[in-house]
A and B are shown apart, each in its own frame.
Chain A
Amino acid sequence: MSLLLGVALPTLAADGFLKAKPKGDGLLPVDQAFQFEGVSREPKALVLRWSMAPGYYLYRHQLKVSADSPATLKLPALELPQGEAKDDPEFGPVQTYHGTLTAKLPIAAGQALPKTLRVRYQGCADIGVCYPPQTKLVAVR
């Protein structure tokens, strides 16, 4: 028995079993957890980029882009890459993005462009806390 404990306990201790459960110390402010890198213009699309710190993710279903100026301008649907499948205990099957995310807003020839985009996103930390939805107004140049 002592041999069992002698081997098992150091293994558990080394892997954090005997440490206190993390209380969230070291969580990043929202703009560092999810860095929205702005909008760039390509010939056939407006490109939006995010960079997530390790341990943080954005929800696909919480990503929304609309025209802020002029607000009446209708935009095409945002093109998003396939996310990571997550079976969320509350929301069911959802998709998430860790690492980086590039989304495209297609531009048809002759289509009017907004002066300002309203970009909304929301995400969480893997540790089990979530940040409020963020809304950014970004100029399209």
Chain B
Amino acid sequence: MALPKQALVAALIAFVAGGGGFLLARHLQPAEPVIPEGVPRVPSADTRLEGQPAPEVVLNDLDGKPRSLAEWRGRWLLVNFWATWCSPCMEEIPLLIAVQKQHQAAGLSVLGIAMDDPEAVTKTVQELGFNYPTLAGDEVVLGAMEKLGNTLGAIPYTVLISPEGLIRYVEMGGLDAGKLDMLVHRFLPPAP
């Protein structure tokens, strides 16, 4: 009689574990939009760009001065497209500030590009204490994103460019601490 009882306990444990696994998976899996039948899908990030030279992009900084991405040649450049009206963008900014602080000595520069009104951007930059430069604009930012592989105009959108000016990574959607850590360890040289 002992064997059926053990089997019953094992089955009960398995049932509880399976249910827990299901709930855990539901919790960890982000909601994905369901694309209706017949509606074309559009690739959001052109990963074919990875390994290709970064295109020339010139945008104004918050003082109205034109700045080129080529100015950061020689450093790893993490270009983050954001806006004040984009909640997922705002969520990742403290992480980008931390990454800039921790890894600038290893050759990483974060660059924010805001698709927004420069006044609103300036206010946010001051309030959040950005420690990296920010460029801003409206339609011209959409054009810059398109050059860098984002044809949808949706944000956040992040592109990592190597010191040689090659696109090494593109990401549509928010970056979390784990993903930023992965990028740093995958691409940057070890800290001196």
**A residues at B contact (CB < 8 Å):** 3-4, 6-9, 11-12, 15-17, 21-30, 32, 53-56, 62, 88-91, 122, 124-133
Contacts and interface: CB of A to CB of B under 8 A. Distances in A.
Given A129-B154, A132-B83, A11 B22 contact: yes
Given A11-B21, A129-B173, A27 B30 contact: no
B144 to A, nearest CB: 13
Contact of B33 (A29, A56, A88): A56
A28 B25 contact: no
A133 B86 CA distance: 10
A8 B18 contact: yes
A7 B33 contact: no
A22 B30 contact: yes
A24 B153 contact: no
B21 to A, nearest CB: 4
Contacts of B31: 55, 126-127
Contacts of B191: none
B104 interface: no
A11 B44 CA distance: 29
Given A22-B30, A127-B30, A132-B153, A7 B15 contact: yes
Nearest to B92: A128
A133 B141 CA distance: 13
14 contacts: A22-B32, A23-B44, A23-B173, A28-B41, A29-B152, A54-B34, A54-B36, A55-B33, A56-B33, A128-B88, A128-B174, A129-B172, A130-B85, A131-B153
Contacts of A29: 42, 152
A32 B35 CA distance: 10
A12 B29 CA distance: 10
B146 interface: no
**Cβ-closest 3 pairs across A and B:** A55-B33, A24-B172, A15-B25
A38 to B, nearest CB: 20
B88 A129 contact: yes
B13 A130 contact: no
B28 A26 contact: no
Nearest to A30: B153
Contacts of B83: 130, 132
Contacts of A89: 87, 91
Contacts of A25: 41, 43-45
B54 interface: no
Contact of A15 (B10, B26, B41, B86): B26
Interface string B115-158: 10000000000000000000000000010000000001111110
Contacts of B87: 88-91, 124, 130
Nearest to A91: B87
Could you say which of B26, B91, B173 has the most chain A C-beta atoms within 10 Å of its C-beta?
Answer: B173
